[in-house]
Structure 1
Amino acid sequence: MAGEAVIHAAEAAHSGVDLVPVVALLAAGVVAVPLFRRIGLGSVLGYLAAGLLLGPSGIGLIADPSSVLHLAELGVVLFLFIIGLEMEPSKLWALRKQIFGLGVIQVACCGLLLTGVGLLLGFAPVVAFIFGMGFVLTSTAIVMQILAERGELASESGQKMVSILLLEDLAIVPLLAVVAILAPAAEDQSMLTRAIGFGSAIGAILLLIVLGRRVMNPFFAILASSKAREVMTAAALLVVLGAALLFQVSGLSMAMGAFLAGVLLSTSTFRHQLEADIEPFRGLLLGLFFLAVGMSLDLGIVGENWQLIAVSVLAFMLVKAGAIYVIARLLRSGHGEALERAVLMGQGGEFAFVLYTTAVAAGLIDGPSNAIFTATVIISMVLTPFAMIGLRYLMPKRVESMDGVETADGLNSRVLIIGFGRFGQIASQPLLAMRHSVSIIDNDTDMIRAAAQIGFKVYYGDGTRLDILRAAGASTADLILICTDQREQTTRIAELLRDEFPLARVVARSFDRQHSIELIQAGVEYQLRETFESAVILGGEAIAMLGASEEEVAEVLEGVRARDRQRFELQLGGEDWRNLSRLLVSNAQEQARESGVSVSEESAEDAVAHSVPAQGT
């Protein structure tokens, strides 16, 4: 009987949710994304490759990619909601010229040129227009993901691309209206029907604005008082998906509905809570979107029409990228910025699928044409990460302006400071207060100019170069301070000074215990870990707030410093961690005896196990 029950349970489980595709998708993302990022190809290409492997053109584990793609589009919706949370209305208003100026110019010019390319490829005018305008709509997901990975969303060039993407997302609305007008059945629609459709779109926007300004904050305040975290998460998803549904029903873009909801909540006191609740869903669904795009690439259609698709991909990407570059240069963007924007935005995007599907339903294009257009867009999306890798070799090298900056040449001071970041600035103050003659060099021209504005004379020079050290006076300096903010750079300077200027006394900023050992072996006379003393003092303030007297604080802190010196000397002498642990156990027992407490060796070992820091601290 028990065996039959197990069999029935297995059959019931098998007839329920099929977990094989779910597990396969998760496994593909978990394996492919870290692998592709490690070899420098980026997470987007990893998802696309994994999707291609799982889809009909690969092992065929998932036979219907369109069903996955429809669900995965929610990842783009959630992504735009989070972007909206970062775009306060004042910030969005400040970008109005870029959105409705730069964005409109780029969409109009690229649309006109790509329609012309479609005509040259032999398509009918209406079909060429739909093909070209679909390709104009850049992939918001790919561009945003790459910018986010590179930390450039808030940069000036990143903001311009975000503005253009927002305008392109808005452009899907009039483009869908144009498809409806061009459709053969459009004559049967009355002006009243069109007016109602337009009015419902405007009404949806106004309704969302009213709800965002008047209802959402009190709504979240009531839910927050319940102290139920899962309810807040459900409410966050309700807001995003509700706004997307409202816009979809009104004939607008779901992504734009979510974005507007995010903008309206960007000044809310619950903004950070909302972002934290949505972020896990956003990441998973956006990854699923890229997987679905990879699965949607039908290699059979590509094989049958490979010449047309290859020509279309090359022509559309080159023409679009060229137009973007020219527009950027005409609007006074630098060569590097214009080139980067052209390559990053030269592909088609996910909204092209929406436009092409709508055109098929309207009878403007047939199924085979839709398959060719879709394959063209997908291949352009796949090629974008590779194009970004190639861009590294085309980007002009950044040339720093030397205006207002003097190079280190013929300096002769008693003290030489190398590196004038936040550490070097503080370290220099006691020396300047005692009126010692100090020369300072750094290789950051922006910082040098900023230092000049507050009265510091800093010379330009790279401390890892022997000729610069000679020109900066290292051969005659009594004391040299290495305050650079890169570990390898600090060690290299210390080794140069040891080999070339052995009489100079050198002190250095260290990053951790192991780095301190490296610096001492490189001849540094004194080193200090950058966070050690500040952390010790902070710990002292903490126990003082908990009732310790000044004498107790001083005694405890001296004990911390003494034990750290013991550990450091053992490591410097090559002692292993076993000997170090024995010493610390002995110290713990001795301190306990001094306090009148009897501590067993086992208890002392437990205490040491929780107190010994990692070797690198």
Structure 2
Amino acid sequence: MAVENANQLVSVVTLLAAAVVAVPLFKRLGLGSILGYLVAGLVIGPFGLGFVNDSQGIIHIAELGVVMFLFIIGLEMKPLHIWGLRHHIFCLGSFQITVCMSILIGIGILYGLDWKIAFVAGAGFTLSSTAIVMQELRDRGNMTSSRSQRIISILLFEDLLIVPLLAFVTFLAPDKIDNPDPIWLKLTIPIASIAILIVIGLWLLNPLFKILAKTKIREVMTAAALLVVLGSGLLMEIGGLSMAMGAFLAGVLLSESSFRHQLEADIEPFRGLLLGLFFLSVGMSLDLAIVANNLALIVIGVLLFVLVKTSSVYLVARITGMNNASAIERAVTMSQGGEFAFVLFTAATTRYVINPEQQATMTAIVVLSMLLTPLWIILYKKYVIPNLKKESFEQESDHIEEQHPTVLIGLGRFGQVVNRLLLMTGHKPTIIDKNASLIAGMKKLGVKCYYGDASRPELLQAAGVANAELLIIAIDDKQQAIRIVELAKKINPQIKIIARAYDRVHVYDLYNAGADIQIRETFDSALRTVEKTLRAFGMEKEMAREITEVYFYKDRHNIKLTSEIYDPKISHFDNKELIRLSLDIDQEIMAEIQQIIHKED
């Protein structure tokens, strides 16, 4: 017993050591963490150095990483959002699957395979890796973009497709296999499992978490979060569906729960560790002996499979209206086989549709395609993207899945301060910014924000400006800020608008465009500087503050008077009436400040 436990501990230590060494090294080389995990698994696995031999046992445990990953994705997607993607899921998903599967099956038949074997191979190769694709989308930080949402929709359809595919494989089984259950029963059980999960998610989970939250015991909440993820996965597995699909549905049902962020924080450490373990186990499952014995077949199979699938995905993307750059991106990202192919191949082998050698060959092709995907992505980013026309690769606006009474445009140094204080006071705004790298970075920090150009009326509509109470414009682009004010007032004349202004002239333009309050970006900091300067001169604190407050309120009030005289067609320094009024106002303010200074004389 002691020896067995020691061996298990050696395996655990080996897995952790491989991850700790390989992943930072591959990241440093610019090859990505996923490829690091896959290569590390290949090296330490039973077909490499042999430090770890139970690759199949590990992959079953590691699949929980994919399950937890899908749960977290579900937490970020509300039911209404999923409903909005229904056309992408069923129409786009079915179109891409049909095209890819038909071409791959056709090639298998032309190669001389029996049509049943060709079907199993084509269906398995068509299914993409949810883990690899989702991780790549998350690393890019653009999971909410329109093209990413289409990819996610296709992956969801593939997860749903595994049920009818397994049922059809059972139908293909030879007569010597006993199949007592009718097809209709095999399809009814998964539907019943989904119905049970929806009932539990809608009416039982939130009350349960409220009760557990009152205990104020953190580990109980963590245990409950794991129970929800694993329990939903188990329910779906019993119903013949994938565990990942069950976890995803549970996440969606809890996406509007007040415990959503707590659940995400509890699951995240397990998700990252187990997902890394999954990639390690995929690398370990590559049987180098099978590859060596069937080298020509497997190499040709991998290259032909990747080429055909990439071309098919690209073709579907172009037919459905994607531009060239987005179509190439989708094709490269989804070029590999997936983890559900292993399930399909195993089921087909168990039912004698394919033999063990064919299963091993197909599995090797899928694993190699997964190993090569990070390399394709690196080559795509290094050599393809720079050669694409810039206008064809403009990032699409994110899909805005939730609306709030307050909309904040701009998340730069000005907007970040505004957002933090709003959140601290219980006001959650819908945030939009057109700096893609900034949005990606802020999302990694947990800030809910969307990429897009707010000067486009359709994006303002999607953000909920038509029903919003307040619009805050915190961008530093003067002309764009004016355009947003004008568009927002057209969409919703009653909305109150607070806009960041560059200078006094910009204040006039914003005022005339319809902004209710204009905040000059350096005005307050200049007043604070003056207050500190007066204190440095020896003036009492109360007097210095009173002087700056008087200047603030007088200037804010009188700017409305000068804005009525302002004419954008006349230079600010050539508008004599504006200059005269400005000087008169300055004299009035100076007189009042002098009274403050000398009121105790």
**After TM superposition, which residue ranges in structure 1, 4 or more long, deviate above 2 angstroms?**
11-18, 185-190, 192-199, 395-401, 420-426, 443-457, 549-554
In structure 1, the partner of 2:183 is 194
* Kept in 2: contact 1:117–1:315 (CA 8 A): no
Structure 2 partner of 1:342: 331
Deviations 1:438-496 (A, max 9, x none): xxxxx999699974354489xxxxxxxxxxxxxxxxxxxxxxxxxxxxxxxxxxxxxxx
Once residues 543 and 12 of structure 2 are traced to their aligned partners in structure 1, the CA distance between those partners, rounded to angstroms, is 59
Unmatched 5+ stretches in structure 1? 1-10, 402-419, 427-442, 458-529, 541-548, 555-617
C-alpha displacement at 1:30, in angstroms?
Answer: 1.3
1:452 to 471, 476, 479: 479
Q: Could you tell me the percent identity over the aligned residues?
A: 53
One-letter code of the match for 2:18? A
Contact 2:346 2:359 in 1 (8 A): yes
Tell me, yes or no, if the aligned pair for 2:125 and 2:341 is still in contact at 8 Å: yes
Mapped pair 1:292 → 2:281: yes
Q: Report whether the alignment pairs 1:301 with 2:301.
A: no
Structure 2 residue 37 is the aligned partner of structure 1 residue 47: yes
Aligned counterparts of 2:414 and 2:201: Cα–Cα separation in 1: 48
- Alpha-carbon separation, structure 2, partners of 1:400 and 1:70: 44
Query: In the TM superposition, what whole-angstrom CA distance separates every residue of 1:186-223 from its partner, at most 9, and x where no partner exists?
Result: 88535x64333322221111111100000000011111
**Aligned position for 1:224:** 213
Aligned to 1:501: none
Q: Is the 8 A contact 1:180 1:186 kept in 2?
A: no
The alignment's TM-score, normalised by the length of structure 2, stands at 0.66
Change (3 A) 1:334 1:400: closer
Amino acid at match of 1:46: G
Query: Which of 238, 248, 254 is residue 259 of structure 1 equivalent to?
Result: 248
Return closer, same or farther for 1:379/1:422 CA change in 2, 3 Å cut-off: closer
User: In 2, Cα distance between the equivalents of 1:447 and 1:212?
Assistant: 36
SS in 1 for 2:65: helix
* Matched residue SS, 1:154: coil
Q: Give the structure 1 partner of residue 134 of structure 2.
A: 144
Q: Is 1:394 equivalent to 2:421 in the alignment? A: no
- For 2:19, the aligned partner's letter is G
For 1:365, what is the secondary structure of its paired residue? coil
Which runs of 5 or more residues in structure 2 are unaligned? 393-409, 417-434, 437-451, 457-476, 485-521, 533-539, 546-601
Distance in structure 1 (CA, Å) of the matches to 2:329 and 2:170: 35
Structure 1 length-normalised TM? 0.65
Equivalent residue, structure 1, for 2:424: none
Instruction: Note closer, same or farther for the CA distance 1:124–1:96 as it changes in structure 2 (3 Å cut).
Output: same
- RMSD between aligned alpha carbons? 3.2
Please name the residue that 1:64 is paired with: 54
Give the partner amino acid of 1:95.
L
Q: Summarize the Cα distance change of 1:425–1:141 in structure 2 as closer, same or farther, 3 Å threshold.
A: closer
Q: Which residue identity does 1:107 align to in structure 2?
A: I
Amino acid aligned to 1:289 = F
Give the secondary-structure state (helix, strand or coil) at the position aligned to 2:50. coil
Distance 1:553 1:265, change over 3 A: farther
Any residues of structure 2 matched to 1:69-88 within 5 Å, and which?
69-88=59-78
Letter in structure 2 aligned against 1:118: G
Determine the structure 2 residue equivalent to 1:377: 366
Q: Is 1:274 paired with 2:263?
A: yes
Contact 2:167–2:183 (8 Å) recurs in 1? no
Please tell me the residue identity of whatever aligns with 1:90: L
**Corresponding position of 1:176:** 166
Residue aligning to 1:128: 118
- Residue in structure 2 matched with residue 163 of structure 1 by the alignment: 153
Structure-2 change in CA distance of 1:121 and 1:16 (3 Å) = same
Q: Aligned letter for 2:154?
A: I
CA contact (8 A) 2:14 2:52 kept: no
SS in 2 for 1:269: coil
Please identify the structure whose Cα radius of gyration is greater. 1
Paired with 2:366 and 2:359, the residues of 1 have a C-alpha distance of 11
Measure how far apart 1:32 and its partner are: 1.0
Distance 1:65 1:424 in 2: 52
Matched to 2:333, the amino acid is: L
Whether 2:127 is the aligned partner of 1:101: answer no
Match of 1:267, SS state, is: coil
Q: What secondary structure sits across from 1:184 in the alignment?
A: coil
Aligned CA distance change for structure 1 residues 241 and 456 (closer, same or farther; 3 Å):
closer
Q: Aligned equivalents of 2:42 and 2:345: distance in 1?
A: 21
Letter in 2 for 1:126: K
**1:394-414 deviation per Cα after TM superposition (whole angstroms, max 9, x unaligned):** 23445359xxxxxxxxxxxxx
CA–CA distance in 2 between the matches of 1:309 and 1:389? 23
1:178 shift after superposition = 0.4
Would you say 1:19 and 2:9 are equivalent positions? yes
> Residues of 1 paired with 2:226 and 2:544: CA distance?
50
C-alpha distance in structure 2 between counterparts of 1:212 and 1:421, whole Å: 35
Matched residue of 2:204: which SS? helix
Would you say the 8 A contact 1:117–1:316 is kept in 2? Answer: no
Q: Provide the residue aligned with 1:500 in structure 2.
A: none
SS at match of 1:87: coil
In the TM superposition, 1:236-251 aligns within 5 A as 236-251=225-240
Shift of 1:156: 1.4
Q: What residue number does 2:310 align with?
A: 321
